[in-house]
Amino acid sequence: MGTRVVVTGLGAITPLGHDVSTTWDNLINGRSGAGRITSFDPSPYAIQIACEVKNFEPTKYIEPRDARRMDRCTQFAIVAAQQAIADANLAIDDSNRTDIGVYIGTAVGGIRTLLEQQKVLDEKGPNRVNPLFPAVMIPDTPAGQIAINWGIKGPNMAVVSACATGAHALGEAWETIRRGDARVMLSGGTEAAILPVVLAGFINMKVLATDNEHPEKAAKPWDLNRDGFVMAEGSVIMVLEELEHALQRGANIYCEIVGYGATNDGFHLAAPSADGEGEARAIRIALKKAGMQPQEVQCWNPHGSATALADKYETTLAKEIWGDYAYKLPINSTKSMLGHMMGGAGAVESMTCILAIRDSVIHPTINIETPDPECDLDYVPNVARHTKVDVALCSNMGLGGHNSAIIFRRYDG
C-alpha cells in the first residue's frame, strides 16, 4: 500500500464563507452562494449571475504591498493556506522546510491581471506595462507565492487540468508523499475568473445556467430542467501529511487519503466521452489503489455540474460501476450551492467529502424539483442527510477530457 497519507489541515475562502466552518454550515443548510454579478456591470450579457466571494478585503490577511503584487486567485490561495497551516498547527522552520511541498492548481491563473495589463498596454503604451506582470499572471504563481511566504523549499508546482485541477493537485500531492519526496504537502485549488470575457465565452458555449431572476435556484444538477452551471471563484487548500509524521507531532487527523485516479477521454475538447467512460476509469483506478470494492464507498460527490450530458453520463457510469448498489449510494453536488469553481472545484468538493466523514452528514443537492427520469439515483435532494460516512469519493471532469477521482477514508487509528 505504501506510505499512508492523512489530511491534517483545511482552509477555505468561498462564495459561502471566508473560512471552512462558515462554508460548511451554509452547505449543510442548503444555502446558495449565487447572485447577480457585482464585480462588473453584467447588463450587456444574457447571463448575469455568478457565485462571487463577497466582501473580500485582501489587506485584512496580507500586507498591502504584497497584496498589490498578487492576482485575486493568488490572494485567495494565500488566505486559504494561512487557515490550513493554522488548522494543522504546523510550524514551518529551518528544521523541516525542505520536507514540505506545495502543489496548487488553477485552471486559468491570473487572467484578471492579464486583462488589466492588456488595457494598460492599449491605453498607455508598452513602457507602462507592469514589469512584474508575467510573474503575477502565470498559473504557478499561487504555488510559488505560498512557498515564498512560508519559506517552503520542497517540491513545488502548479497543476492545470481545467475543472479536474483541484482534485488532481491533491492526488499528485498524495503520490509525492507516498513515494517519499516530501513528508508534508500544501495542496488544493484556486480560481478568480468571474470576468466579462470568461462569462461571454461560457455563455456562447451554452453551458451556463440561465435563471437571472432566481440565481439561488439556477444550478439544479440532475433536475429535468437543468441548463448549466453557475460560475464561481474561491480557494480550498489542505495540509496532507505522512501518517507517521502527523502522529509524531500529535496532529489532528481529519481522514486518510487512500486512492487516486487520473485519466483522459481522448475524445473531445469540450464534451465528455459517452457514458462517462473516462471518469469511470479514473474511479476504478482510485478503487484499485485503495484496495477497495465499489460497494465500500458510502458517499460520492461527482462533477454534478448540471449540464445535460455530464449529469446523464455520471448517472450511467454509477450504474456501470456500482450495479444495483448505485440506487443506494448517496450522491451529492456541491456545485448546486457553491457554483463551479473550475480549478478549485475538485478541492472544495474534496473538502465536503472530508467533512462528511468528520461530521457524519452529507450536504444536500439543492434545486431538485422535477426529477429527470434518466437521472433516477439518490442525489440527496434538498435536505442534508445525517448518516455515518467512513468512505467518500470525489470525482471531476475537465475541458480537454481530463478526469480525476480521489478517495477519503475515516482514519482508524
Catalytic residue among 163, 299, 375, 394: 163
DSSP class of residue 89?
Answer: T
Distances 143 to 76, 147, 150, 184, 291 between C-alpha atoms, Å: 12, 6, 11, 14, 31
Catalytic residue among 18, 168, 245, 340: 340
Q: Which residue spans within 91-162 are E strands per DSSP?
A: 100-105, 156-159
Q: Is 163 annotated as catalytic?
A: yes
> Cell numbers at residue 152, please?
517552503
Q: Please classify residue 45 by burial: count the beta carbons closer than 10 Å to its beta carbon, then call 0-12 exposed, 13-18 middle and 19+ buried.
A: middle
d(CA 248, CA 388): 28
Residue position matching grid coordinates 484578471: 112
What HEC string does 217-232 produce? HCCCCCECCCCCECEE
47 strand-pairing partners: none
Catalytic residue among 303, 363, 375, 402: 303
Contact by Cβ (8 Å): 161, 395: no
Q: Is 303 annotated as catalytic?
A: yes
The residues carrying an active-site annotation are 163, 303, 340
